[in-house]
Copies of this chain bind each other. A is one copy, B any other.
Amino acid sequence: MFKKLTKELLDKFFSGDIITASRLMTRLENGDPSVWPIMREISLHTGKAYVVGITGPPGAGKSTITDKLIQLFRKNQYTLGVICVDPSSPFTGGAFLGDRIRMTQAIGDEGVFVRSLANRGELGGLAPRAKEIVQILDAFGKDVIIIETVGAGQVEADIINIADTTVVVTVPGLGDRMQALKAGIMEIADLFVINKADRQGAQDAVRDINMMLDWLPEGRWRPQVLLATANLNQGMQEVYDAILAHRDKLIKTDKWRERRYERNRSHCFAITEQAVISYIHQKTEEVAELKELIAKVCEGEVDPYSGAEKLIQKLFASADILKLS
């Protein structure tokens, strides 16, 4: 019975049924483990899609750039999946939703599948979920998947790890903050776009970034630094061309395969960790002995370290962390 349902669902999915794909994403977001056998089948059909990450500080205009890129990819007959990630809610939640409304011009086009991922405080975080949605969109046959992250923290860095090409968007006049770019962003950027280039200081920003890039180790891909004013549609063709140029370079240098390896690896660890964490929480709610232990930790009768030790001893003495049918 279960096998039959799975087969039906997979047939629908691979025939391109959008509702089936959406429901699958929702079940994954809800942490429903019954989708694992389905995801296992789906993951056998992945590795073809080209994944572009768009990141940068709040207010840099990432959504507008994403919008324009969608139009350019569509003009060139690519089908698209778009994932909008907002790990920084509650504070930026409002602005984010506003931005999304602008993107509605993309909705209604069957070649574009848009999915938002907001943080609802789940265990395990957004990065594993984003990876799963990439897998689904990839197997669903989308040629290009754009992941846009609002904000710029560790979560975004984890997510952007999935991308083949990472575009870092910034704006003129970030001043001091540019210094900070040095730290983490130099390693992940494949292309810099200075948006709102009609503002004062655009040339200074180009120079600043180029100066930082001079510190890159030899042999490393040197990201281009482009100027754009996305809301006036200026410079976007150049951004698009630079993205595709990076893809071509990737494919030639075997980096393409390397990134797929890393994607599989981190996906496997994410699933494993998620399962184990869920198991820990579930058991401490179900098993009376563990419930009592946690109560004693809360009361301060047992210190958190001894509590953790006992918890681990009790939980992992047997091998039933998860039982899949």
Contact = CB atoms under 8 A, between A and B. Distances in A.
A111 interface: no
B308 A154 contact: no
A312 B91 contact: no
Contacts of A303: 40, 43-44
Interface stretch (A62-70, A245-253, A274-282): A274-282
Contacts of A321: 312, 316
Contacts of A72: none
A280 B276 contact: yes
Contacts of A319: 313, 316-318
Interface in A41-67: 43-44, 47, 56-58
A36 B96 CA distance: 42
Interface stretch (A14-22, A197-205, A293-301): A293-301
A176 interface: yes
Number of copies: 2
Nearest to A307: B268
A117 interface: no
Interface residues of A, number: 79
A90 B272 contact: no
A180 B316 contact: no
A309 B320 CA distance: 11
A306 interface: yes
A56 B119 CA distance: 17
Interface string A150-185: 011111010000000000000000001111111111
A289 interface: no
A305 B151 contact: no
A273 B280 contact: yes
A176 B271 contact: no
14 contacts: A36-B309, A40-B306, A43-B303, A44-B303, A57-B91, A87-B154, A90-B183, A90-B185, A153-B153, A268-B308, A271-B305, A272-B312, A276-B277, A309-B322
Interface of A: 36-37, 39-40, 43-44, 47, 56-58, 87-96, 98, 119, 121, 125-126, 151-155, 157, 176-185, 260-262, 264-265, 267-269, 271-273, 275-277, 280-281, 294, 297-300, 303-309, 311-313, 316-319, 321-322, 324
Given A89-B180, A271-B308, 4 more contacts: A94-B177, A126-B154, A151-B151, A265-B294
